Amino acid sequence: MNITVFEVSPDERQELDRLSRTLPVSLRLVEKNLSMETLSLAEGAEGVSTLGRSRLDRPMLEALEKLGVRYVSTRTIGVDHIDLAAARELGIRVSHAAYPPAAVADFTVMLMLLVLRCYKPAMWRQNVNDYSLKGLMGRSLRSLTVGVVGTGSIGAAVIHNLSGFGCRILAYNLTDCEALHPYATFVDLDTLYRESDIITFHVPATPETCRMVNRESLARMKDGVVLVNTARGELMDIDAITEGIETEKIGSLAMDVFEHEQGIYHADRKTDILKNKDMVYLRQFPNVVLTQHMAFYTEESIVSMVDCGIQSLLDMKEGRETRLEL
């Protein structure tokens, strides 16, 4: 099977080389995003694989269909960069990736601990040989109530991690999960907002979840609430979040994702002027930790994402079922 792989990063090459030797595939590796300018590199391919920076909207999918591409994979869990409805109409089959939930779950708890123990201002001080403690008093996770919004594989893993800290755990999901009952109490979203000291979000970006954290929902939360987002930046109304930090309604904020992060995160922009003013402004606060969409970024995750991206294309072509098809 001929496959063009776009957005290839150096850390993916070893696994891609291994797959090219062990699977009946011929891989064309392209570092650039899939775009109208790079589309010709997919000529002769039956399938293409991308990451999240390539926008597979209707015009792009129509162009791929004209080239004879029938199978598309994204080496990401999220698929908000793909017009799935258009793909179905065009007869293009689409799959996404999976990776062990521990990567994001561990990172999520790390972010909680970073902001609870004031590590960002402590690190700043150490850089100028200031080892004072004033203003650095933290809080113990054990003494707090943590609300987990979304109990899919990652949310469930977060709950399992948190259970070892002895904190009270509340959970909200569209469907109940009996396997998590020994660790968390399932409640409605209003109750979770009202009673949680920390709230962490693990839901996909959909029309229903877009801007779910806004002025109205913040008003239902505790004063000084800690918010953690390792899911999608679109969950947050950034104007409301910024206002919440400025008024101290939000005690701390930790985000591994940011709306309009494309072209900034995963790139070296040291000497550039960043046009995402909200990101630049929020980064200054001592109680705000922003990381560069790296919660997923472990050796195990990269191998799994590459394997899913290639194997699912092959499975779809050869008529085998794949749990990753959308």
* Distance (Å, whole) CA 8 – CA 32: 7
Q: Residue 266: pLDDT band by 50, 70, 90 thresholds?
A: confident
pLDDT value of position 141: 96
Residue 323: inside a domain, yes or no?
A: no
293 labelled catalytic: yes
3-class SS at 224?
Answer: coil
* Judgement on whether residues 59 and 156 belong to the same structural domain of the protein: no
Q: Which of 7, 12, 46, 261 is catalytic?
A: 261
C-alpha to C-alpha distances, 51 to 69, 286, 307, nearest whole angstrom: 17, 32, 13
Q: What is the pLDDT averaged over residues 268-280?
A: 90
* Distance (Å, whole) CA 314 – CA 291: 34
Residue count (the chain): 326
* Judgement on whether residues 126 and 196 belong to the same structural domain of the protein: yes
Q: What is the pLDDT averaged over residues 309-314?
A: 96
C-alpha to C-alpha distances, 253 to 13, 118, 188, 267, 298, nearest whole angstrom: 35, 11, 23, 23, 23
* Judgement on whether residues 246 and 145 belong to the same structural domain of the protein: yes
Q: What type of residue is 102? A: A
* Judgement on whether residues 262 and 174 belong to the same structural domain of the protein: yes
Residue 8: inside a domain, yes or no?
A: yes
Question: pLDDT by residue (tens digit) across 185-229?
Answer: 999 999 999 999 999 999 988 899 999 999 999 999 999 999 999
Q: Which of 53, 75, 202, 293 is catalytic?
A: 293
Residue 56: inside a domain, yes or no?
A: yes
* Judgement on whether residues 152 and 174 belong to the same structural domain of the protein: yes
* Judgement on whether residues 207 and 106 belong to the same structural domain of the protein: yes
**What are the DSSP calls for 249-314, one per residue?**
SEEEEEES--TT-TTTTTS--TTSPP--HHHHHHTT-TTEEE--S-TT-SHHHHHHHHHHHHHHHH
pLDDT value of position 144: 98
Residue 67: inside a domain, yes or no?
A: yes
Q: Which of 12, 232, 234, 259 is catalytic?
A: 232
Is the pLDDT reported for residue 129 higher than 90?
yes
pLDDT value of position 233: 93
pLDDT value of position 170: 98
Range of the domain at 232: 102-290
Residue indicated by tokens 């775009």: 35
pLDDT value of position 79: 87
* Distance (Å, whole) CA 259 – CA 235: 8
Q: Residue 71: pLDDT band by 50, 70, 90 thresholds?
A: very high
Number of domains in the chain: 2
- CATH, residue 251: 3.40.50.720
Question: pLDDT by residue (tens digit) across 130-165?
Answer: 999 999 999 999 999 999 999 999 999 999 999 999
Q: What is the pLDDT averaged over residues 39-67?
A: 95
Residue 196: inside a domain, yes or no?
A: yes
Is the pLDDT reported for residue 267 higher than 90?
no
* Judgement on whether residues 192 and 311 belong to the same structural domain of the protein: no
Residue 154: inside a domain, yes or no?
A: yes
* Judgement on whether residues 144 and 76 belong to the same structural domain of the protein: no
Question: pLDDT by residue (tens digit) across 3-46?
Answer: 999 999 999 999 999 999 999 999 999 999 999 999 999 999 99
Is the pLDDT reported for residue 263 higher than 90?
no
pLDDT value of position 241: 97
* Judgement on whether residues 207 and 277 belong to the same structural domain of the protein: yes
Residue 52: inside a domain, yes or no?
A: yes
Residue 322: inside a domain, yes or no?
A: no
pLDDT value of position 90: 96
* Judgement on whether residues 125 and 168 belong to the same structural domain of the protein: yes
